A = this chain, B = another copy of it.
Amino acid sequence: MRLRLLEATVQCLAEHGWAGTSTTLISQRAGVSRGAQLHHFPTKTDLVVAAVEHLTLVRGDELALAAAALPTGPRRTRAVLEMLGDHFTSDVFVAALELWVAARTDPALLAVVGPFERVTGRETHKLTVEMLDADESQPGSRELVQATLDLIRGLGLANTISNDQARRSRILDRWAAVLDDELPRRSKEQG
């Protein structure tokens, strides 16, 4: 029942936005009584933060599995970018974006979302370093991985109000070539 509530919350945020997401709508969508919902999550903020935290963890596990299945060799960089692009255009990203923007002008929400976003950001950075086999001991390497994730976040934002897939694909082709030219790697096998 807790899980159904969390998944319904992310779906509501993605479909109706922060302002359009009410605890009533979530309990209807999850098929859970209001009383049971209030028992698990007393406020909208409790519910929303638990939902995005939970599904980001699930998605993080999926990413780690997908990372293990990535090809090696010359196509690897582009495959990493494709995977990240998929992640940052998913319903989970869109739900997180709604929270992020709402938190900007809601101090109580920001107090919860802020620290959570910092942890998520660090974990995504670490996974990306591993996937790209980046050598962070070399100058400029860390910043290029950060730029990659900020690019992908910008592409995620661009995709929210129109289907941006064709343009995104061409940009990621070019970015993969840039990384293969510019990013120092730990081993010489890839890139």
Contacts and interface: CB of A to CB of B under 8 A. Distances in A.
B140 A17 contact: no
Given A16-B105, A104-B161, A150 B171 contact: yes
B143 A173 contact: yes
Interface of A: 15-20, 94, 97-98, 100-106, 110, 113-114, 117, 140, 143-144, 146-147, 149-158, 160-162, 167, 170-171, 173-175, 177-178, 181-182
27 contacts: A17-B102, A19-B19, A20-B105, A100-B161, A103-B161, A104-B160, A110-B161, A114-B161, A140-B174, A143-B170, A143-B173, A143-B174, A144-B174, A146-B167, A146-B170, A146-B171, A147-B151, A147-B174, A147-B175, A147-B178, A150-B154, A150-B155, A153-B154, A154-B154, A154-B155, A157-B157, A181-B181
